[in-house]
Amino acid sequence: LTSRLNGRLQQEEEAARASIEKEIDAIVQSVMRKSVKVTLDKNYQLKLTDERGTEAAKSTGENQLLGLAFTGAIAKYAKERADLVDDILLPGTIAPLVVDSPFGHLDPVYRRGVAEFLPKLASQVILFVSTSQASDVVMEMLGPKIQHEYVLTRHNQIDGQGKPQEHIEIHGKTYDLTIYNSEIDGTRITEVM
């Protein structure tokens, strides 16, 4: 019985790894400039190989792109298994994909690619982006897919004399990003209207 269960679990793990690898490779083929193939080894380490089979070096942006593709592919795999009925394995789940600073080290081409593929991988995607990451290109790509937007405003009880005021304009309305001489120390979340 133990042998049979171990064999089944090994088969399921291989199938999962192959499915996740295939999804990541499809993303890489559609976004990355290099001609590479993705390999996801038994330890879940992602490798890129060129047409000669040599491991390709990865830039900081390419590493970030791969990490986002990996995380998204896992979320998609879990979502696809949500209705699984099995006598041994638990079903997958439909969960939001929460990503902080997904565009940080990406150039405009990779930003556009991430903005295109991330929403396709999970039923709900929650992105935390700074003003520099929420570029026109990114917001144009995400625009039709955005259902709710929020601004996080940092409140400080200290005096901000000499510190620059930080604001952001969204849909013609200006929101404070930092407030000094506040009654609280903390962050307030405001829905964008």
pLDDT at 29: 93
Query: What does DSSP say about strands 178-179 and 150-155: parallel, antiparallel, or unpaired?
Result: parallel
Give every CB contact of residue 112 below 8 A, 6+ residues apart in sequence. 137, 138, 141
pLDDT band at 132 (very low <50, low <70, confident <90, very high): confident
- pLDDT per position as a tens digit, 51-65: 898 999 889 999 999
Q: What is the pLDDT of residues 85-98, one digit of tens each?
A: 888 888 899 989 99
Helices marked H in 32-144 = 60-80, 108-121, 136-142
CB contact set of 11 (below 8 Å; sequence gap of 6+): none
pLDDT digits (tens, 9 = 90+) for 95-107: 899 999 898 888 8
pLDDT band, very low/low/confident/very high, at 134 (cuts 50, 70, 90): confident
